[in-house]
């Protein structure tokens, strides 16, 4: 009885601490929504906290009329989808190969992959390689460098090692080669780990801006996060956006425009994430398994 009561008290305080931490993480987003929807007078005076004062949709109406923002969102969607597909193809191929005990040089390749995980490639050599391959100011410079990650390889390799050996041997007895086994047998039963890696990479690709800052020079190729960064860092609302379609009230309150742009760029991934959160949890569990 006493142990049950202690456990209940512990669960209560544990839940309370987690709730407080969750609220501190949600509060900044709630504040941005409130600022973007408030009356410009209150927003400009920084009197808005967690609830809008007044109700104005001028910021979002302006954002929806801005061709630059929609073009940047299209670029972000393209590099996210293309980068994720390429990441899955390369990672699955390498991870399956490394999971086969009979592969020559498997240990050496695994050590090299681990080395790249512990010691990331420095910025200057990466920049020189991108420039030398002629990928400067192209979207390939945002897709290819991060298409293969050591962490993803470890997660997928661990999963592939758990695939039933009897199933693979039965497929080979039926006449399947290694490639056929990989395509017809292994990949169809690996949807969970593929979805996990896809989500990890897609979120990372969507939020990245440093690569575009280094390699992209044309405004037409700027992803959404780089547009957002330029907007937040600018001293005036129209700086870095090349758009003059602003209402007078919005021009007087740049903080409203910045808050609205942050919500505009974050909303797509926020809509997708809750439906696929279970795959993130499963991915973390897969990465913790031992051989």
Instruction: Give the pLDDT score at 290.
Output: 44
pLDDT of the chain, 291 residues: tens digit per residue: 566 777 788 788 888 888 888 888 888 888 888 888 877 777 776 777 778 877 777 778 777 887 888 888 889 999 999 999 999 999 999 988 888 877 788 888 888 888 888 888 788 888 888 888 888 989 999 999 888 888 888 888 888 888 878 788 888 887 778 888 888 888 888 888 888 888 888 888 888 888 888 898 888 888 988 887 777 776 444 444 444 444 444 444 677 777 888 888 888 877 777 776 666 666 556 544 444
Class of domain 60-288: mainly alpha
Residue 133 DSSP class: T
pTM of structure: 0.76
The closest of 215, 222, 177 to 67, measured between CA atoms, is 222
Q: Which residues contact 264 (CB under 8 A, 6 or more apart)?
A: 60, 63, 69
Instruction: Give the pLDDT score at 154.
Output: 87
Condensed to tens digits (0 to 9), the pLDDT of residues 35-76 reads: 888 777 777 767 777 788 777 777 787 778 878 888 888 899
User: Alpha carbon of 115 to those of 88, 94, 118: distances in Å?
Assistant: 21, 16, 5
Return the domain boundaries, the chain.
Answer: 2-56, 60-288
Instruction: Give the pLDDT score at 238.
Output: 47
């Amino acid at each position: 009885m006493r142990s049950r009561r202690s456990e209940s008290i512990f669960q209560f305080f544990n839940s309370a601490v987690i709730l407080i931490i969750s609220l501190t993480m949600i509060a900044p987003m709630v504040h941005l929504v409130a600022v973007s929807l408030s009356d410009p007078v209150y927003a400009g005076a920084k009197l808005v906290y967690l609830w809008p004062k007044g109700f104005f949709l001028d910021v979002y109406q302006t954002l929806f009329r801005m061709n630059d923002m929609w073009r940047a969102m299209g670029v972000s969607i393209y590099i996210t989808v293309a980068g994720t597909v390429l990441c899955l193809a390369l990672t699955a191929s390498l991870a399956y190969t490394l999971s086969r005990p009979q592969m020559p040089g498997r240990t050496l390749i695994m050590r090299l992959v681990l080395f790249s995980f512990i010691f990331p490639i420095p910025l200057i050599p990466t920049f020189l390689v991108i420039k030398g391959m002629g990928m400067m100011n192209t979207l390939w410079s945002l897709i290819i460098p991060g298409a293969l990650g050591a962490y993803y390889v470890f997660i997928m390799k661990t999963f592939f090692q758990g695939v039933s050996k009897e199933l693979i041997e039965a497929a080979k007895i039926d006449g399947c080669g290694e490639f056929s086994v990989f395509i017809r047998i292994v990949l169809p039963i690996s949807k969970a780990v593929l979805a996990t890696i896809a989500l990890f990479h897609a979120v990372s690709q969507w939020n990245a801006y440093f690569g575009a800052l280094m390699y992209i020079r044309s405004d037409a190729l700027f992803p959404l996060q780089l547009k957002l960064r330029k907007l937040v860092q600018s001293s005036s609302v129209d700086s870095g956006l090349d758009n003059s379609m602003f209402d007078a009230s919005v021009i007087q309150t740049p903080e409203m425009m910045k808050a609205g742009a942050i919500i505009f760029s974050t909303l797509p991934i926020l809509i997708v994430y809750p439906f696929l959160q279970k795959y993130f949890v499963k991915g973390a569990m897969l990465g913790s398994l031992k051989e």
